[in-house]
Amino acid sequence: MIQLEHVSKQFEAGKQTVEAVKDVSLHIEKGTIAGIIGFSGAGKSTLARCINLLERPTEGKVTVGGAELTALSERQLREKRKKIGMIFQHFNLFASRTVYGNVAYPLKGRSKGEIDQKVRSLLELVGLSDKAEAYPSQLSGGQKQRVAIARALASNPEVLLSDEATSALDPETTRSILRLLKEVNRTLGVTIVIITHEMGVIKEICDQVYVMEGGRVVESGDVFQVFASPRAAVTRRFVDSTSNFSRIQELLDDPAHPIRLNPGDYLLRLNYLERSTSEALISNISRRFELDVNILLGSIELIDGNPLGGLVVVAGGGHDKITAAVAYLSKRNVLVEVISHG
Ligand SMILES: Nc1ncnc2c1ncn2[C@@H]1O[C@H](COP(=O)(O)OP(=O)(O)O)[C@@H](O)[C@H]1O
Ligand SMILES: [Mg+2]
């Protein structure tokens, strides 16, 4: 649905040239939700604006829905752009228009009946049927973003670009907006590109993720794959930002709480890698290999139903049994690391 080939964008800022996007190639399939994550200044917004050609790339080719946008005239482009909706962090609603007026805006020129039917159905979709006559100033942040989503959908877009659309919202409202986007994706088949600096957003609804740094895509792939075994340093920073797993070493080094190991005890770190089975691994190894397993610390979350993260445990039962248990776990995509033993 969206194909970027060697897209670069440079800005001339005074005497300086800023390379906001550098040689980005990506392919986002129809009907999927793709995430673009990066810290501030990474080039995400510029890249998003290159997708609908609000920014014309300095180099490269942009194709959306089979049409090569970079080859179109301004007039042809205006037509094509209707197929690409966009929502933003600050909603960008018309303050002087009602909710109804905002959603109806992209429909001007159509018959009154047609507009009314479309606006009503969009307001129902976003759960704001009772707010049609309200003004943006009378709405919460989450409600404003719902209006913006309804407005973006008014021209039946094939693609919806979301640039930090949940960044000004509290976590609860963020989740409700993400659920709405997922529903839009599922029921209308709209391909969605989510731009964010929050890994939680990506984990919540994206199928694919692209990690940006310094204008480049430094890592990409299936969300679970990328976050389970991050290769780029910046990806690791995002993973650590939502996990307390990085605190393990601190805890282990804390002289106030030494971890005492009896002879035959092993201090192990279990990392859930790849897609692990959902079987009860800890109770399994404990029963099968007659181990005592004591969980000291855990950080596990589910992405796509797969556990991601890990545990630090003390396992007692002696060298042989533990070696067998480690082999068993390795076969089930759990990487086991011996931190120390008694
Ligand atoms: N219109 C512009 N003129 C000059 N520099 C810009 C312009 N837009 C963005 N930049 C620069 O490009 C880089 C990437 O910006 P941006 O795409 O907004 O990043 P992000 O959205 O990831 O925070 C930054 O260094 C920014 O200052
Ligand atoms: Mg931005």
Q: From the CB of residue 310, how many other CB atoms can be counted at a distance below 10 Å?
A: 23
Nearest to 223 by CA among 238, 213, 208: 208
Ligand 1 binding pocket includes 18 (Cβ within 6 Å): yes
Which of 119-133, 258-272, 322-336 has the highest mean predicted lDDT (pLDDT)?
Answer: 119-133
Using CA positions, which residue lies closest to atom 24 of ligand 1?
41
Q: Picking from 221-230, 239-248, 267-276, which range would have the lowest pLDDT averaged per residue?
A: 239-248
Question: Tell me, what amino acid is at 145?
Answer: Q
User: Is residue 309's pLDDT more than 70?
Assistant: yes
Give 155-196 pLDDT, tens digit per residue: 999 999 999 999 999 999 999 999 999 999 999 999 999 999
Q: Please report, for the domain that includes residue 152, its CATH number.
A: 3.40.50.300
Same domain, 202 and 59: yes
Assigned domain for 240 exists: no
Per-residue model confidence (pLDDT) at position 243? 66
Q: What is the C-alpha to C-alpha distance for residues 50 and 47, in angstroms, rounded to an integer?
A: 5
Q: What is the C-alpha to C-alpha distance for residues 102 and 149, in angstroms, rounded to an integer?
A: 11
Using CA positions, which residue lies closest to atom 7 of ligand 1?
11
Assigned domain for 238 exists: no
Nearest to 231 by CA among 219, 241, 239: 219
**Tokens linked to 55:** 């920014």
Bridge partners of 299, per DSSP, are 310
Per-residue model confidence (pLDDT) at position 176? 96
Ligand 1 center from residue 9 Cα (angstroms): 10
Per-residue model confidence (pLDDT) at position 342? 82
Burial of 255 (0-12, 13-18, 19+ CB in 10 A): exposed
Burial of 41 (0-12, 13-18, 19+ CB in 10 A): middle
Q: Of the residues 202, 231, 260, which one is the last residue of a structural domain? A: 231
Nearest to 20 by CA among 61, 48, 53, 62: 48
Looking at the chain, the whole-number percentage of residues with pLDDT higher than 90 is 70
**Number of separate domains in the chain:** 2
Assigned domain for 9 exists: yes
Helix (H) or strand (E) holding 288: helix 281-288
Ligand 1 atom having least distance to the Cα of 212: 22
Q: What is the C-alpha to C-alpha distance for residues 186 and 180, in angstroms, rounded to an integer?
A: 10
Question: Tell me, what amino acid is at 171?
Answer: P
Question: Tell me, what amino acid is at 285?
Answer: I
Assigned domain for 237 exists: no
Domain carrying residue 69: 2-231
Residue 277: pLDDT band (50, 70, 90) is low
Ligand nearest to the CA of 36: 1
Residue 248: pLDDT band (50, 70, 90) is low
Q: From the CB of residue 94, how many other CB atoms can be counted at a distance below 10 Å?
A: 13
Ligand 1 binding pocket includes 45 (Cβ within 6 Å): yes
Residue 35: pLDDT band (50, 70, 90) is very high
Q: Mean pLDDT of all residues in the chain? A: 91
Same domain, 262 and 129: no
Same domain, 137 and 253: no
User: Is residue 7's pLDDT more than 90?
Assistant: yes
Per-residue model confidence (pLDDT) at position 258? 72
Same domain, 144 and 249: no
User: Does the CA dihedral 216-218-224-230 come out positive or negative?
Assistant: negative
Using CA positions, which residue lies closest to atom 12 of ligand 1?
20
By the CB criterion, residues less than 5 angstroms from ion ligand 2 are 45
Residue 300: pLDDT band (50, 70, 90) is confident
Same domain, 224 and 313: no
User: Is residue 209's pLDDT more than 70?
Assistant: yes
Same domain, 139 and 225: yes
More confident site: 230 or 144: 144
User: Is residue 98's pLDDT more than 80?
Assistant: yes
Ligand 1 binding pocket includes 89 (Cβ within 6 Å): no
Ligand 1 binding pocket includes 197 (Cβ within 6 Å): no
Ligand 2 center from residue 174 Cα (angstroms): 17
Same domain, 63 and 197: yes
Could you tell which of 21, 24, 46 is best to mutate to test the pocket of ligand 1, judged by most ligand atoms within 8 Å of the CB?
46
Ligand nearest to the CA of 12: 1
Residue 254: pLDDT band (50, 70, 90) is confident
Q: Please report, for the domain that includes residue 323, its CATH number.
A: 3.30.70.260
Per-residue model confidence (pLDDT) at position 302? 78
Give 14-23 pLDDT, tens digit per residue: 889 999 999 9
The mean per-residue pLDDT over the stretch 117-124 comes to 97
Q: From the CB of residue 31, how many other CB atoms can be counted at a distance below 10 Å?
A: 15
